[in-house]
Amino acid sequence: MKNPYLSPVLLIIMQKIILLTLSLVFGMVAAQQNAYYQQYAQYKMDIDVDANNFTYAGKQTITYSNNSPDELKVIYFHLYWNAFKPNSMMDQRVQSQGKSGDSRLQVNGISRLASIPKDQEGAQNIHWIKQNGKNIKFDIQETIMKVYLDKPVKANSTTTLTMEWDAVIPQQIRRAGRNNSEGIDLTMTQWYPKIAEYDYDGWATFDYVGREFHSPFADFEVNIKIDKDYVIGAGGTLENPSEVKGYQSNASVKTDSKNKATWKWTAKNILDFAFAADRDYTVENFTILDGPKIYYVYQKSDKTIFWETSKPYITKFFQIMNATFGRYVYPSYAFIQGGDGGMEYGMCTMILGEATSLDGLVGLMVHEAGHSWNQQMMAYNESVRPWMDEGFTSYYEDLVMYQLFPPQSPVANPFVSAINSYINFTKTGKEEPAVWLADHHDDGRAYSFASYVKGELFLVQLGYIVGEQNLSLIMRDFYEQWHLKHPTERDFMHIAQKISGMDLKWFLHYWINTTKTIDYSVKAVKYDTDSTTITLENKGQVPMPIDFSILKKDGSVVNYQIPLNMTHTWKTKDIYGDFQTLGYWPWTQKEYTFTIPYSKSQISALGIDFSQRLADVNPTDNFVEVK
């Protein structure tokens, strides 16, 4: 029935509003139903290195596949080395943070970048760029280059870009550069104009001020000319080992008129191509049964004696990771002495090599190679989610090192040290949420704890909530569904909730988006003739299910589980023993009282979380010794 009070004009306006609203609603539904996509690139590079003057000249052809549903009118590139100069954004950020900034970028609060000599400043100078043979315009905003396409790249189509540039290899300040602290001549990482990632969130155009990276998967063909006396270590496959120095004992080094050898490298489906070059490198290799071929590229000396003895440990590392979390998919992996500590790249890592202990070197190798299961094969956007990459990798590191180097004194689990570090840091008042962007943390230590420690404990707490068996299934299924893609925490949580049957959104929110802490206590214990009544208190801000145990006088342990109502489904098993499930604890309720059928004479001790996985910031009031 028509409304007699509406004029014809108003009726027309209302009809248009309704049609517009319906189109928006259906558009949103369609957007939510779009299939997952990811971009792809193919690089072909010719690089001529002038090692004496620490420069190089480069040409590259990039075939870029736009697999998105969007038409792209511009393409962005990263020019990371432009950060290494006085008054760059990286320098400004270091200066503003002072002593709280990254210790590798400042000394006593003074930025190391501010004093880089002019001739050692990093630079990537773009000469020209062409699309399908036609010159196109570009703008450079320090470490980000915006390229204006002559013709838009339509959805599900490709375009070809060619470019020529030259670069100055910077003083080694952070990761890349010349003459690192151990005398490696060239560490060439994030060294070429690198295409940025484009996904549902748009272009990943984060300025480089010191932290992490992100890019599409790509294939690489890289030809590197350099003085014939150099040896190169890289992430990829060397296609001409018989023509260059270091990889074959009977090699016949081929040189050009300038006495340079050409190294021909390829790599498929990786995020970036990195290499290092030095005259004094030794190259060693060994093959892991049902695993990759491992290369060690380092300066062999009395200072690097632990490299040889590390080999069986690295073999076991890859075997553990393949069996536990999913297979390493690439044909090789190279540990290369270079850089300023440890940093992961496609099929390789750059690490400082002059370790003072075997477990120190192996721990560094395990952590950096462990990134292959995160930063490389899972390919998170580290600038947005550093806690997934660094945190999950730290979890793998502690789990594997616990097996490779069992502790001399018994500990409850492999993560006790990380939990204790976290507890101590929460008391400094400097903690920052893990959800913050990697480069936007105000304090260097706060970034490290948010990303490495809090990210690691995310998995430890998750195992406590859902049970370790379920956590193993979650991690394996996450790998199977998402390796060689770009997952987010939403994809991980979807799998975690599906496998556990629990609602876990509350946990993600508390642990990643806030700095609220867990703090439970045993408030009261009342002993009766044939039973004991216990009252627990939630003194913290993060609700959790509670594992509670009693140690009986006969040495046996009885376990109880007090579920948290928000999970709606309870844990059914865990590796720390069978348990009886009690009534749930509402998250709004501060205290919980229950009675167990054991008298005081039967009990030696009782308490919360005998497994010591719960990241309770005040664990001293979690246990009662019965005397």
In the chain, what is the straight-line distance between the N-terminal and C-terminal CA atoms, in Å? 83
Sign of CA dihedral 490, 496, 500, 503: negative
Cβ atoms of residues 325 and 271 within 8 Å = no
CA dist 562 and 593 (Å) reads 11
Q: What is the pLDDT of residues 450-476, one digit of tens each?
A: 999 999 999 999 999 999 999 999 999
DSSP 327-350: ---SSEEEEEE-TTSEEEETTEEE
One-letter amino acid for residue 291 of the chain:
G
Q: What per-residue confidence (pLDDT) applies to 607?
A: 98
CA dist 327 and 582 (Å) reads 40
Average pLDDT rounded to a whole number, residues 537-564: 98
- 2 pLDDT above the threshold of 50: no
Q: How confident is the model at residue 17 (pLDDT cuts 50, 70, 90)?
A: very low
Interhelix angle for 358-370 vs 311-325, to 10°?
30
- 433: nearest Cα among 529, 505, 516, 374: 516
CA dist 444 and 511 (Å) reads 19
DSSP 404-436: HS--SS--SSTTHHHHHHHHHHHTTT----TTS
**Radius of gyration from C-alpha coordinates of the chain:** 28
Average pLDDT rounded to a whole number, residues 486-496: 98
Per-residue 3-state assignment (H helix, E strand, C coil) for 234-269:
ECCEECCHHHCCCCCCCCCCCCCCCCEEEEEEEEEE
From edge to edge, which strands make up the β-sheet containing 520-527?
Answer: 520-527, 532-538, 591-596
Q: What per-residue confidence (pLDDT) applies to 4?
A: 41
Q: How confident is the model at residue 5 (pLDDT cuts 50, 70, 90)?
A: very low
If you count DSSP H runs as helices and E runs as strands, how many of each does the chain have, helices first? 13, 33
- In order of their start, the domains of the chain are 36-91+118-280 (2.60.40.1730), 400-513 (no CATH), 520-625 (2.60.40)
Q: What per-residue confidence (pLDDT) applies to 320?
A: 98
Q: What is the pLDDT of residues 301-326, one digit of tens each?
A: 999 999 999 999 999 999 999 999 99
Question: What percent of the chain has pLDDT above 90?
Answer: 90
Provide φ and ψ at 279, rounded to 5°. -75, -25
- 193: nearest Cα among 60, 84, 72, 63: 60
- 273 pLDDT above the threshold of 50: yes
Q: What per-residue confidence (pLDDT) applies to 15?
A: 52
Q: What is the pLDDT of residues 201-225, one digit of tens each?
A: 999 999 999 888 999 999 999 999 9
Q: What is the pLDDT of residues 23-69, one digit of tens each?
A: 444 444 444 446 899 999 999 999 999 999 999 999 999 999 999 99
Which ranges constitute the DSSP H helices of 152-309? 306-309
CA distances from 534 to 40, 559, 562, 622 (A): 59, 14, 12, 12
The position carrying tokens 């040189």 is 255
Q: How confident is the model at residue 103 (pLDDT cuts 50, 70, 90)?
A: confident
- 14 pLDDT above the threshold of 80: no
Determine which of 107-121, 137-151, 296-310, 544-558 has the lowest per-residue pLDDT on average.
Answer: 107-121
User: What is the model's pTM?
Assistant: 0.93
Question: What percent of the chain has pLDDT above 70?
Answer: 95
Provide φ and ψ at 529, rounded to 5°. -60, -45
Residues 6+ away with beta carbon under 8 Å from 70: 155, 198
- 155 pLDDT above the threshold of 60: yes
Cβ atoms of residues 263 and 293 within 8 Å = no
Q: What per-residue confidence (pLDDT) applies to 31?
A: 41
Determine which of 16-30, 131-145, 254-268 has the lowest per-residue pLDDT on average.
Answer: 16-30
Q: How confident is the model at residue 13 (pLDDT cuts 50, 70, 90)?
A: very low
Q: What per-residue confidence (pLDDT) applies to 12?
A: 45
Q: What per-residue confidence (pLDDT) applies to 6?
A: 42
CA dist 275 and 246 (Å) reads 15
CA dist 317 and 312 (Å) reads 9
- 282 pLDDT above the threshold of 80: yes
Q: What rounded mean pLDDT belongs to the chain?
A: 94
- Return the SS3 of 486: coil
Q: Is 568 exposed, middle or buried (0-12, 13-18, 19+ CB in 10 A)?
A: exposed
